[in-house]
Amino acid sequence: MLVMGEVHTGLLQNSGEISESTCRQVLALMAGETVRVSRRPIVHALSPERLTGVDCALPTASRSRVRGVGTVMSRCAVTGGRVAQGSSYVRVVRSEADRRLPWSHYLARPGVVEVLGKAKAADLAEGFTGDSAPGGTGGACLNLGAVSGRFLDLVQASPLLDRRAPFKIPRTSLRWVAETGEPSIRFTLHTEQERTLRLTHPGPFTPAVVDLCEDLATHDWLLTSLLVIVERARIGGTQGAQAVARLAPAIDHLMHLWMPAARVEEWLTPFWESLERRPGFSRQWRSLVDRVRDQVAMNTLALLNATAEAGRR
């Protein structure tokens, strides 16, 4: 029917970036399973996948009660030794039985939630990504955000991290729904930290779609964080040196991490490209990076001038 997921992204709670080998240890969530690491064009480490059992109502826009039983597939990732993610998703399918089956039935279908009774894909999609989406007050229904949040906490609580992050920045959450159909993508900013993504892709769902959503979430978080840092620097409203000092974390920790679509399969890159045209993530990123660099350059010039003047005196 459809696939729904939620990605939570945050700054790794460590003073500096962590090495590849530390990434491997931090993400070793399961005995006997290896952490997958890719090094080009940026170090990206992915934990083994874990399942969480659920049996609950699914979010619907119509508020009709739809019961789903199955497992949520979750994993954690660390990008550039600096950005941490907890990511979960479920493939929603119709159940062939109208009652709950023995648990082993669901474990034979990892990451699938079976719907008992009637449900419409559009109703579920709207319920999950619409404004009155879960996490809110409405009755208990599938809470992928909580699952992803716990997986992100699991990484952040690793004893290998020193928990002295260089700056404070909120986590962002990206709730996404993917369906098969005419290609389209809709990215929506809700509150400061909440985003939704509706994706229609040709052909059947593959885990590459999850990679795309995680990649978008990483870059949206980078952009959001850089914006926050630039805003906090109060350029123009404060002393140049002070502004530059406030911009320093961006230079030290964020600016080299922008690698859009680096881990996205080729058939899905058109989705990234269309978002690059409108709203133009990279355009905004470049403009912010230029702004940071210009501030540093101006400040350097001012310093050089001051030194030269002091020398003349």
Q: Which stretch binds other proteins (CB under 8 A): 136-144, 197-205, 225-233, 296-304?
A: 136-144
Using alpha carbons, select from 207, 73, 80, 91 the residue that is nearest to residue 148: 73
* Least distance (Å) between residue 125 CB and other proteins: 18
Per-residue tokens: 310:
């002091």
Considering only 26, 72, 77, 185, the residue that binds other proteins (CB under 8 A) is 72
Considering only 12, 147, 212, 288, the residue that binds other proteins (CB under 8 A) is 147
Considering only 9, 47, 60, 71, the residue that binds other proteins (CB under 8 A) is 71
Task: Please give the C-alpha separations between residue 7 and each of 97, 127, 171, 194, in angstroms, as whole numbers.
Answer: 31, 17, 10, 10
Q: In degrees rounded to 5, what are phi and psi of residue 178?
A: -120, 135
- Residue 151 near residue 87, CB atoms below 8 Å: yes
Residue 310 touching other proteins (CB under 8 A):
no
- Residue 147 near residue 75, CB atoms below 8 Å: no
d(CA 227, CA 279): 15
Binding mask 31-50 for other proteins (x = CB under 8 A): xxxx-xxxxx---------x
Residue 265 touching other proteins (CB under 8 A):
no
Considering only 107, 157, 241, 303, the residue that binds other proteins (CB under 8 A) is 107
Neighbours of 37 (CB within 10 A): 15
Q: Which stretch binds other proteins (CB under 8 A): 23-31, 121-129, 156-164, 219-227?
A: 23-31
- Residue 6 near residue 87, CB atoms below 8 Å: yes
Residue 137 touching other proteins (CB under 8 A):
no
d(CA 79, CA 84): 7
Considering only 1, 16, 22, 55, the residue that binds other proteins (CB under 8 A) is 55
Residue 104 touching other proteins (CB under 8 A):
yes
Report the interface residues with other proteins, using CB under 8 A: 29-34, 36-40, 50-57, 69, 71-72, 100-105, 107-108, 110, 140-144, 146-147, 150
